[in-house]
A and B are shown apart, each in its own frame.
Chain A
């Protein structure tokens, strides 16, 4: 079943705290009395969490490429040895 644009927009605004306090109370009341809306909001929350995990994974992958570059580049031997020494002594 297709979810309406308005419903998704409302869920996004609610999850990202873009709703004024008075309107938020109305939405919170809807969440109590309307299980379908509650489920829809939880679904959107899950979607947000998945998208965030994906974004974080991508940024971490970029950091890992730089890490490999720094620790495999023969031109950075001094950097590599300085770091290695910190952990050899412990």
Chain B
């Protein structure tokens, strides 16, 4: 049983091992919960994978001082996701003290169609920049680590490349967004 997150979740190999352990130990618990709520296998899979994403984000952002039991935390996130996604009444799913403290990012289910369209476009034309900016903004890696991962000669050249990428993607977003209102959400 996993008692706490002892792995470096930013490291892809260590993350893979953690996710495998969590799949083995926690997916059956989440699947049982979903089946009791009349959900499908696909619902259980979606909820569980979304919960893994949120667990990853909370670990990376160090939002929680210490995640003592990733298994319990993951189940808590999954319950919140189920309640949020299917607008289930709380009484049907009880939340313990730890689970009540868990929050789900407000915007998690609010991905706009325009965002998906733009992302597909950027994946075709600017994947390298997405990789760099994702490492910086999403994975919260230091410029030094990004340099090593992406093969830049120094933190300084990574910072310069990051700035170029921001400019490039901002220009694409500006050119390809259909509506001015897209920026006024």
Q: How many residues of A contact B (CB 8 A)?
A: 39
Q: A42-B183, A50-B119, A83-B41 are in contact. Are A3 and B49 (CB under 8 A)?
A: no
Chain B window 95-138, contacts with chain A (Cβ cutoff 8 Å), 1 for yes, 0 for no: 00000000000010001000110110011000000100110011
Q: A43-B174, A66-B23, A87-B40 are in contact. Are A50 and B115 (CB under 8 A)?
A: yes
Interface SS of chain B: helix
Asked if B16 contacts A43 (CB within 8 A), the reply is no
Asked if A60 contacts B53 (CB within 8 A), the reply is yes
Contact of A8 among B116, B166, B184 (CB under 8 A): B166
26 pairs of residues in contact across A and B, judged by CB atoms under 8 Å: A43-B170, A43-B173, A43-B183, A46-B118, A46-B173, A47-B170, A49-B115, A50-B130, A52-B137, A52-B138, A53-B115, A53-B119, A54-B134, A54-B138, A59-B53, A60-B49, A62-B12, A66-B16, A69-B20, A70-B27, A79-B28, A83-B41, A83-B44, A86-B35, A87-B40, A87-B41
Give 5 nearest A-B pairs by CB, closest first.
A55-B138, A42-B183, A86-B35, A63-B49, A55-B134
